Amino acid sequence: MAAIDDIPVVQLGVEDAAAGLVLSTEAHWNQNEDDWRFFLREGVVFGVHDGAQLVATAALLPYSGNNAWISMVLVTASHRRRGLATRLVDTCLETARKRGLTSWLDATPAGAAVYGPLGFTPTLQLRRMRLERSTRGAAAPPAPATLDALCARDRRTTGFDRTALLTAFAQRSGSRIAAASGSIALVRDGRIARHIGPVLANDAATALTLVDAIAQSESGPLLIDAVASQKEFLEGLATAGWTTERPFQRMRFGPATKAGEEPPFAVAGPEFG
The per-residue DSSP string of 52-80 comes to TEEEEEEEEEEETTTEEEEEEEEE-GGGT
* pLDDT number for residue 3: 54
Q: Which ranges in the chain are annotated with CATH 3.40.630.30?
A: 4-100
Closest CA to 36 of 52, 57, 51, 53: 57
- In sequence order, the 6+-apart residues with CB closer than 8 A to the CB of 270 are 71, 106, 126, 128, 225, 248
What is the fold of 4-100? Aminopeptidase (3.40.630)
Mean pLDDT computed over 32-36? 97
CATH 3.40.630.90 domain span(s) along the chain: 127-267
Contacts 24+ apart (CB under 8 A), 106-109: 106/248, 106/249, 106/250, 106/251, 106/267, 106/270, 106/271, 106/273, 107/248, 107/249, 107/250, 107/251, 108/246, 108/247, 108/248, 108/249, 109/247, 109/249
pLDDT category of residue 1 using cuts at 50, 70 and 90: very low
Please compute the mean of the pLDDT values over residues 120-147 and round it to a whole number.
Answer: 83
Tell me the pairing of strands 222-227 and 121-131: antiparallel
Entry pTM: 0.93
Q: pLDDT tens, 84-98?
A: 999 999 999 999 999
127-267 classified as CATH 3.30.420.40: no
For 236-262, what is the mean pLDDT? 91
- Looking at the predicted structure, is the pLDDT value of residue 204 above 80? yes
Distance CA 203, CA 200 (A): 9
| Average predicted confidence (pLDDT) for the chain | 93
